[in-house]
A and B are shown apart, each in its own frame.
Chain A
Amino acid sequence: MAQATITRTTDARGTGPVRRSRGRRHRGEDLTKILFVLPAAVAMVALFGYPVVKNLLMSLQDYGLRTFFTGAAPWVGLKNYSTVVTDNLFSDAMVNTALFTIGSIAFQFVIGLALALFFHRRFPLSGVLRSLLLLPWLLPLIVSSATWRSILEQDSGILNRTLSWLHLINEPVPWLNSPSVALIAVIGVNIWIGIPFNVTLLYSGLAEIPDELYEAGQLDGATGWRAFWFITWPNLRAVASVLLMLGVVYTIKVLDIILGLTGGGPANATQTLATQSYERSFIDFKFGEGAALSNILIAISFLFAIFYLRSTRRAIDE
């Protein structure tokens, strides 16, 4: 229906008259411009503006189970924010979110870059291997987290079995059962999931770098490590910064993997802002508090977005 709108209005406009006095024509052109923008604007307001504004309003209201039935959501000001920030778990969740995000992205990026460089030199079966590498990305997250849950099982999980068979460990590692190990295990699984995305983008970034640069560099004695540092890295910087920026925004809000693996446990060791927000909204049915937490999350992502936009603008100015 929306498409029909667009085509109909543009058709009508296309056959519209052009002969008119100057002022009128201008007004007409303005109207035309507005009409062009209108569908996109409506879509933006409905799909982006409304949820964001609604979420902001919700975070300032006592929005609970009752609200759905009576429609009443009393205004409580910043009470939801003070409740979630002063909660015992808030600082833990903040630290976990930071560790989870930084840990995931650092390893995803470094491993992804290493693999991209490795696959950049063509060798037999490299195409097949590279596409196999995409597998983690193709699996639904619920499937991968369920699979990893059984792999990481303390008693009968295949990881502990293999490690003890190789005599690398004497006691089974409590991957998901110990508050001190669980976060590491969850980060590990998230790294595994994120590698394909990093490899794919970095690989295409590498493919963009013209071979002549390396040939010219070779003449000046830039080979191996020096070639990477003076040719590859500067040319890859744009891709890398997009990748890191997207990585932060994607990772900071990860929910399904954590819920599937540990549900935020054991003893809240893997609670992040995202799992806390989910829990408050959909388990406690305190939607106002959940909205407050997710706004904090959005604000943090927004900071990174600004940071990224400024850095790209500087790059263009240069």
Chain B
Amino acid sequence: MISKRIAAVLAGATTVSLVLAACGSNGEDSSPASSGDSVKSLTILDYYNNDPDKSLVQKGLDSCASQLGITIQRETVPGDTLIQKVLQQASSKTLPDVLMLDNPDVQQIAATGALAPLNDMGLSGDGVIQGMVDATSYQGKLYGLAPVTNTIALFYNTQMLQEAGVQPPKTWDELKAAAKKLTKPGRYGIAFNANATYEGSWQFLPAMWTNGGDETDLNTPQVSEALQLWVDLVQSGSASKSVINWTQGDAKDQFVAGKAAMMVNGPWQIPALEKTPNVKWEVVTFPLNKPDQTPVAPLGGEAWTVPLNKDQAKQQKAADFVKCLNSDENELAWAKARFTIPTKTALLDQYVKEVPSMKAFTEQVKTARSRTGKLGEKWPEAAKVIYQAIQLALTGKASAQDAFKQASGG
């Protein structure tokens, strides 16, 4: 009799522990140790979750997989959830074999010790634009390679500029004058993004860096002059007051709808622009404050990294895979299909010849810098001060001179 009751207790207890055990072991399927060519498949995580990018990237991944004789299991997540996904996988030790990261995040993740240095596995950043090597290196070691990059420049509506008799601006004064002239009821001269996110800081960098500003010291006249440009454009009514809430996608929507004659934006908007063929546009490099300056724009684009793996053979295979993605062939294929720019300097001239519409962006990339090049993992803090200063200045809560001091809590 008693045994029955004990059995019941035991049954209860074991089921509970089984449930717990099931939870614990979930997703921890450790792959059997393999060596050399026995690596048959790699897992990949990236954030190209929308077409056409999703399938265009898939093509490149597939061709490298067949070159290496492996199969791939790819997972894509929305861009803004990638880091959270990576953190979750890191704590459950289930990071993929090949991981894509936005280039300003590479150093932050490398600093945690999650990534394998690529130099030890036969990869190098030779021939790659210095700005990109800076972004994907941490403490002198290379942790990722980006096959293609992008940046931002000035799009303009050719028809509107022609009607107003305005030439594409080359200097800030010309930009302000052109924007003013192009503004009329129901239409702004220029659209850009000045919202309170890292995207808002990114859009501000061409003006700030070109004018000699530097994120290591934001309390300089060069930086506040750049902010004054944004303030002038908004306060003169040449740009909407809503820029403080707009994303880059919103700026593109305004441009496509004919509500803005110019916009600061990147080449990833080109597929969307091509859907409205009646809007004719061209791109020029971002204007300079003084004619003798060189344009310095920020480098965008994603790097492919290899998370540390106990299975050495698999880690090496993943590195080989990243190397293949960064072959000349794949760089050009991805650049052409996805309106991005190859990161190897030797390929740039050939690329512009084949894709003339990317000329201005390619020009910008040659002299571009990466966001994390100087500050490394401290960049997010500076970026935060930048976007908060922009918000303070554009809402009139601080002057362009005081905004950075106020935003940094001084």
The residues of A with any CB-CB pair to B shorter than 8 Å are 1-2, 4-5, 8-9, 12-13, 15-17, 28, 31, 35, 38, 42, 65-66, 68-71, 88, 149, 153-156, 174, 176-179, 262-269, 282, 284-285
Contact = CB atoms under 8 A, between A and B. Distances in A.
B15 A265 contact: no
A8 B111 CA distance: 51
Interface size class of B (residues with CB under 8 A): 35 or more
B11 A8 contact: yes
A47 to B, nearest CB: 13
Nearest to A282: B84
Interface of B: 1, 4-5, 7-9, 11-12, 15-16, 18-19, 22, 83-84, 87-88, 90-91, 108-109, 111-114, 195-197, 240-242, 244-245, 259, 380, 384, 388, 391-392, 394-395, 397, 409
A84 B108 CA distance: 23
Q: Is the interface of A mostly helix, strand, loop or mixed?
A: loop
Contacts of A176: 242, 245
Contacts of B240: 154-155
A223 B19 CA distance: 62
B244 A177 contact: yes
7 contacts: A9-B11, A65-B87, A70-B112, A177-B245, A265-B391, A266-B244, A266-B391
A35 B6 CA distance: 12
B409 A154 contact: no
A70 B308 CA distance: 12
Contact of A266 (B1, B111, B112, B196): B196
B4 A12 contact: yes
B11 A42 contact: no
Nearest to A28: B5
B4 A15 contact: yes
B91 A8 contact: no
A149 B195 CA distance: 14
A164 B366 CA distance: 49
Contacts of A285: 83, 87
Given A1-B18, A16-B5, A179-B395, A265 B245 contact: yes
Contact of B241 (A1, A38, A177): A177
B260 to A, nearest CB: 11
B301 to A, nearest CB: 21
Given A66-B111, A282-B84, A267 B242 contact: no
Contacts of B12: 5, 8-9, 35, 38
Given A8-B11, A9-B12, A42-B16, A68 B241 contact: no
Nearest to B384: A284
Given A2-B19, A266-B395, A267-B388, A153 B11 contact: no
Contacts of B409: 88
Given A35-B9, A69-B112, A5 B244 contact: no
A65 B392 contact: no
Contacts of A65: 87, 108-109, 111-112
Contacts of B392: 267
A268 B304 CA distance: 35
Contacts of B1: 16-17
A258 B87 CA distance: 25
Nearest to B392: A267
B8 A13 contact: yes
A263 B199 CA distance: 13
A178 to B, nearest CB: 7
Contacts of B4: 12, 15-17
Nearest to B187: A155
Given A68-B112, A69-B114, A155-B242, A267 B380 contact: no
Contacts of B394: 266-267
Given A176-B245, A265-B244, A266-B395, A68 B90 contact: yes
